[in-house]
């Protein structure tokens, strides 16, 4: 114990990083699957299809069906393309093994958030507060799980906090530093990963303008422009014949479709932050965040601008706000420290503060235990792994006529690039009548049938059997515990039980497959 205490005192940041890595390593191996649509279908599926000589989303200009830029930066997905190409070179074919490697790299990448968060707080306040922030960033209940996902909203955070550290450690001296050029370059990489980070970046630039550090601001802008030209302008110019084509489409799309997705009140993200940061500590962080604006403007203003914009923009999805959560925690802790240091009320109620923090950590660890081992979208992933044992599938029919449109199949885990017939209320089964009745289309018929959820299953199978009489039950893939819980709480969460039927015209015998 004496030895470990000495190591902790001498190498505190290193110890915190080890703790953070261990917590994320658990997620690397146990938090399989994918969290949301975007972190799989807009990243992994696209990149792997390019490696295999296909184009899952028809993003590339030479792909049949492509109509031009669709508003997707090629930077982050391009990194995965290079990574999956390297994995293929090492002859690693198993999708789960590929994802372990990718999750491990994301886990390592996320350690930069703890590293620079600790350094920022240590410079802004003291080591004691830095340790508190470092441990929260390392062990906050959903950070290990979200850190190993392929979300641009999260992958951009290390770029942002690295840049903020470079600015913060120099801006108070008012001396010129080349660190601002590098900070701008990193900001550009964050922007290329997630376009919305421009809001945060503009806040940092505005702070330098307020402090009238125009030389450093100039170098920040130059670094940013160089980075964006390299990772956005040149790539788009090569692909589309004009720079920033994807960015222009992205901006226009969000303007035109701002009300097509989840729309909720302006205070939605405030409630979300208040919940996920765990009350009553979340209330402390809110108070601290708004108290910090004057002393820690460089941390406050970028975060505040980002929060205000997304609060009033109609489209509100939970993942949008993830980018600023670490900054909100850092700034909130710094500001809360100011409050309690100058408050007679809290000075005489230290026991209450201790109880609040004890409650926070107990609840945090309980949640982290479940979330860090959460196999997300298990049924959707495992159903494709199951079918991957059958070769040359080509066509699959997915069905969910009861209430919701069918969900995309994860072809990355199938290991085959196929065509799907998506049968739902939006696309009724009758639309296949011409295909089924034409004998020349026999090779185009589905080999497997995926029925989503069990409600009214018998009648749904019967309807499909009217068109495809020679189908046979294959297997049932159940969702994980948390997936099932989320689906029961709100059916919009696509975590249904999946029932697979086989077309005996193509596969007369069932294979004996163990998952």
Percent of residues, the chain, with pLDDT higher than 90: 77
Region 95-124 average pLDDT: 98
Element (H, E) at 414: helix 411-414
Q: Residue 496 and residue 59: Cα distance in Å, rounded?
A: 29
Strand partners for 32: none
Instruction: Please give the pLDDT value at position 492.
Output: 67
DSSP 419: E
Q: Residue 11 and residue 134: Cα distance in Å, rounded?
A: 13
Instruction: Please give the pLDDT value at position 171.
Output: 73
Which residue in this structure is represented by tokens 């701008």? 184
49 within 8 A of 417, measured Cβ to Cβ: yes
Kindly report whether the peptide bond that precedes residue 280 is cis, defined as omega within 30 degrees of 0.
yes
Q: Is the pLDDT of residue 282 over 60?
A: yes
Q: Which pLDDT tens digit goes with each residue over 210-248?
A: 998 899 999 999 999 999 999 999 999 999 999 999 999
Angle made by CA atoms 118, 28, 12, in degrees to the nearest 5: 25
* Structure confidence at residue 513 as a pLDDT band (50, 70, 90): confident
Across all residues in the chain, what is the average pLDDT? 92
* Structure confidence at residue 111 as a pLDDT band (50, 70, 90): very high
Higher pLDDT pick, 23 / 257: 23
Q: Give the pairing of strands 419-424 and 395-400.
A: parallel
Q: Residue 155 and residue 110: Cα distance in Å, rounded?
A: 8
Instruction: Please give the pLDDT value at position 253.
Output: 86
Q: Residue 310 and residue 316: Cα distance in Å, rounded?
A: 7
Hey, which of 257-266, 289-298, 341-350, 398-407 has the most confident mean pLDDT?
289-298
Region 358-378 average pLDDT: 96
Instruction: Please give the pLDDT value at position 440.
Output: 81
Q: Which pLDDT tens digit goes with each residue over 283-312?
A: 999 999 999 999 999 999 999 999 999 999
Q: Is the pLDDT of residue 403 over 60?
A: no
- Token representation of residue 417: 């690039």
* Structure confidence at residue 174 as a pLDDT band (50, 70, 90): low
Q: What is the DSSP string of 142-161?
A: THHHHHTS--HHHHTHHHHH
Angle made by CA atoms 272, 274, 279, in degrees to the nearest 5: 140
* Structure confidence at residue 438 as a pLDDT band (50, 70, 90): confident
Number of neighbouring beta carbons within 10 Å of residue 354: 10
Closest CA to 353 of 336, 365, 369: 336
141-145, 376-380, 509-513: least confident range: 509-513
Please report the sign of the dihedral spanned by the C-alpha atoms of residue 65, residue 69, residue 71, residue 73.
Answer: positive
435 within 8 A of 410, measured Cβ to Cβ: no
3-state secondary structure of 55: coil
Q: What is the DSSP string of 105-122?
A: HHHHHHHHHHHHHHHHHH
Q: With 0-12 CB in 10 A as exposed, 13-18 as middle and 19+ as buried, what is 457?
A: middle
- Token representation of residue 229: 């030209």
157-161, 456-460, 480-484: least confident range: 480-484
Instruction: Please give the pLDDT value at position 3.
Output: 83
Instruction: Please give the pLDDT value at position 512.
Output: 83
Please name the residues in contact with 304: beta carbons below 8 A apart, sequence gap of 6 or more: 203, 293
Phi, psi torsion values for 188, nearest 5 degrees = -65, -35
Percent of residues, the chain, with pLDDT higher than 70: 96
Region 75-91 average pLDDT: 97
Higher pLDDT pick, 431 / 148: 148
Q: Is the pLDDT of residue 324 over 70?
A: yes
E strands in 372-511: 395-400, 419-424, 448-452, 471-477, 498-503
Number of neighbouring beta carbons within 10 Å of residue 490: 8
Closest CA to 48 of 16, 76, 8, 82: 82
Domain boundaries, the chain: 260-342, 378-503
Quote the pTM value: 0.95
Instruction: Please give the pLDDT value at position 258.
Output: 67
Q: Which pLDDT tens digit goes with each residue over 254-278?
A: 887 766 676 788 899 999 999 999 9
Instruction: Please give the pLDDT value at position 110.
Output: 98
- Please give, one letter per residue, the 3-state secondary structure of 266-335: CCHHHHHHHHHCCCCHHHHHHHHHHHCCCCCHHHHHHHHHHHHHHHHCCECCHHHHHHHHHHHHHHHHHH
134-138, 403-407, 451-455: least confident range: 403-407
Q: Is the pLDDT of residue 50 over 70?
A: yes
* Structure confidence at residue 161 as a pLDDT band (50, 70, 90): very high
Please name the residues in contact with 199: beta carbons below 8 A apart, sequence gap of 6 or more: 302, 305, 306, 309, 310
């Amino acid at each position: 114990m004496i030895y470990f205490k000495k190591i902790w005192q001498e190498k505190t940041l290193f110890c915190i990083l080890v703790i953070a890595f261990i917590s994320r390593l658990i997620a690397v191996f146990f938090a399989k699957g994918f969290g949301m649509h975007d972190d799989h279908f807009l990243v992994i599926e696209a990149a792997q299809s390019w490696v295999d000589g296909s184009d899952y989303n028809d993003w590339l200009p030479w792909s049949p069906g492509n109509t031009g830029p669709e508003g997707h930066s090629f930077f982050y997905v391009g990194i995965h393309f290079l990574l999956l190409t390297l994995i293929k070179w090492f002859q690693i074919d198993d999708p789960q093994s590929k994802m372990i490697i990718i999750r491990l790299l994301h886990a390592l990448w996320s350690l930069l958030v703890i590293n620079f968060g600790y350094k920022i707080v240590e410079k802004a306040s003291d080591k004691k507060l830095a340790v508190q922030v470092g441990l929260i960033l390392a062990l906050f209940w959903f950070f290990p799980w979200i850190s190993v996902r392929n979300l641009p909203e999260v992958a951009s955070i290390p770029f942002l906090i690295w840049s903020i550290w470079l600015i913060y450690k120099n801006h108070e001296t008012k001396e010129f530093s080349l660190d601002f050029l590098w900070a701008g370059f990193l900001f550009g990489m964050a922007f290329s990963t997630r376009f919305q980070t421009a809001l945060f970046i503009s806040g940092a630039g505005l702070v330098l303008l307020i402090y009238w550090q125009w030389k450093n601001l100039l170098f920040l802008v130059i670094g940013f422009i160089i980075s964006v030209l390299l990772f956005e302008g040149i790539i788009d110019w090569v692909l589309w014949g004009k720079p920033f084509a994807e960015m222009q489409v992205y901006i226009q799309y969000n303007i035109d479709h701002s009300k097509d997705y989840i729309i909720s009140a302006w205070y939605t993200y405030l409630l979300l932050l208040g919940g996920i940061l765990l009350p009553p500590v979340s209330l402390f962080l809110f108070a601290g965040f708004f108290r910090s604006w004057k002393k820690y403007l460089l941390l406050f203003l970028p975060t505040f601008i980002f929060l205000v914009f997304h609060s009033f923009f109609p489209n509100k999805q939970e993942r949008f706000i993830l980018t600023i959560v670490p900054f909100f925690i850092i700034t909130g802790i710094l500001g809360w420290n100011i409050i309690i240091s100058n408050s007679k009320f809290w000075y005489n109620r230290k026991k209450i503060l201790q109880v609040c923090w004890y409650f926070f950590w107990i609840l945090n660890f309980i949640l982290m235990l479940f979330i860090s081992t959460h196999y997300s979208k298990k049924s959707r992933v495992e159903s494709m792994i199951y079918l991957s044992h059958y070769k040359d599938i080509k066509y699959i029919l997915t069905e969910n006529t009861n209430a919701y449109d069918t969900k995309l199949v994860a072809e990355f885990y199938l290991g085959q690039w196929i065509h799907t017939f998506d049968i739902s209320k939006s696309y009724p089964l009758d639309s296949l009548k011409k295909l089924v009745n034409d004998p020349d289309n026999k090779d185009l018929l589905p080999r497997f049938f995926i029925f989503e959820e069990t409600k009214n299953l018998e009648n749904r199978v019967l309807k499909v059997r009217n068109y495809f009489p020679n189908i046979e039950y294959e297997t049932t893939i159940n969702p994980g515990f948390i997936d099932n819980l989320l689906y029961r709480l709100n059916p919009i969460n696509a975590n249904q039980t999946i029932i697979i039927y086989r077309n005996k015209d193509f596969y007369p015998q069932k294979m004996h497959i163990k998952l």
